[in-house]
């Protein structure tokens, strides 16, 4: 028979899974900021990691990646959708494309569901400021996604990404650096604020282990 904590964990994991799916396929997962949209789908993954543990967090991260795979395969919105779709990449680059796009689509997102838990656990040893600890875990979790995704695109798909965006391959590093420095910072700040706010409330109901 499952314990109360196990049942709570299962319920929270199911809840965060539903939130990820809803956010992924509706505008709720993106906050318009004028020239860009800030992605916030990583937030339920991060919170799930903190309150359900790294295994469930990894599952939520995988689910985040899977929704990205589905969206970019079934209804690609840009010419660079192949970056997140092993199916599209296979038709363009063969087996190499499958491997590259699978890595970009899933590995960073799975890590988003794992790292925040250990970051928070580590911070707890030195700081009793839960608000700050949650915020730092949220910032690092979000930046992990942005940095690994965009960094992997540069390493694995530099020329193909340049062609899809209609830019000179020599400028790709600058473009990606700009995305990391602008989008990444905004998304990290949003994640830090929201994860901290939700974390403080949820921690009263189900304290982080």
Of 184, 105, 104, 112, the closest CA to residue 152 belongs to: 104
For the cut 80, the answer to whether the pLDDT of residue 36 exceeds it is no
Q: Tell me the C-alpha distance between 185 and 146, whole Å.
A: 9
Mean pLDDT, rounded, of the chain: 90
Domain map of the chain by residue range?
4-205
Q: What is the mean pLDDT of residues 195-201?
A: 95
Output the pLDDT for position 35: 45
Where does the pLDDT of residue 1 fall: very low under 50, low under 70, confident under 90, or very high at 90 and above? Answer: low
String of b and e for 162-190 (b: at least 16 CB within 10 Å)?
bebeeeeeeebeebbeeebeebbebbbbb
The per-residue pLDDT for range 121-158, each reduced to its tens digit, is 999 888 889 999 999 999 999 999 999 999 999 999 99
- CATH for the stretch 4-205: 1.10.1760.20
For the cut 70, the answer to whether the pLDDT of residue 2 exceeds it is no
Question: Would you state the structure tokens that stand for residue 171, as one six-digit string?
Answer: 């400028």
Contact 10, 19 (CB under 8 A): no
DSSP 3-state of 128 = coil
Output the pLDDT for position 39: 83
CA distances for 22 relative to 64, 92, 121, angstroms: 11, 30, 29
Which range is least confidently modeled, 6-10, 74-78, 161-165? 6-10
DSSP 3-state of 75 = coil
Strand partners, 170: none
């Amino acid at each position: 028979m499952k314990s109360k904590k196990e049942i709570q964990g299962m319920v929270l994991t199911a809840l965060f899974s539903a939130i990820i799916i809803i956010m992924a396929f509706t505008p709720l997962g993106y906050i318009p900021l004028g020239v860009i949209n800030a992605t916030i789908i990583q937030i339920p993954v991060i919170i799930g990691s903190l309150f359900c543990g790294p295994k469930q967090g990894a599952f939520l991260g995988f689910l985040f990646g899977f929704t990205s795979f589905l969206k970019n395969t079934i209804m690609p919105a840009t010419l660079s959708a192949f970056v997140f779709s092993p199916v599209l990449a296979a038709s363009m680059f063969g087996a190499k494309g499958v491997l590259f796009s699978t890595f970009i689509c899933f590995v960073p997102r799975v890590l988003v569901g794992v790292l925040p838990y250990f970051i928070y656990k580590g911070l707890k040893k030195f700081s009793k400021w839960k608000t700050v600890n949650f915020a730092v875990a949220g910032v690092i979790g979000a930046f992990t996604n942005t940095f690994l995704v965009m960094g992997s695109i540069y390493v694995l798909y530099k020329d193909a990404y340049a062609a899809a965006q209609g830019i000179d391959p020599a400028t790709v590093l600058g473009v990606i650096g700009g995305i990391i420095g602008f989008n990444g910072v905004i998304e990290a700040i949003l994640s830090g604020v929201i994860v901290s706010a939700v974390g403080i409330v949820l921690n009263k109901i189900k304290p982080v282990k």
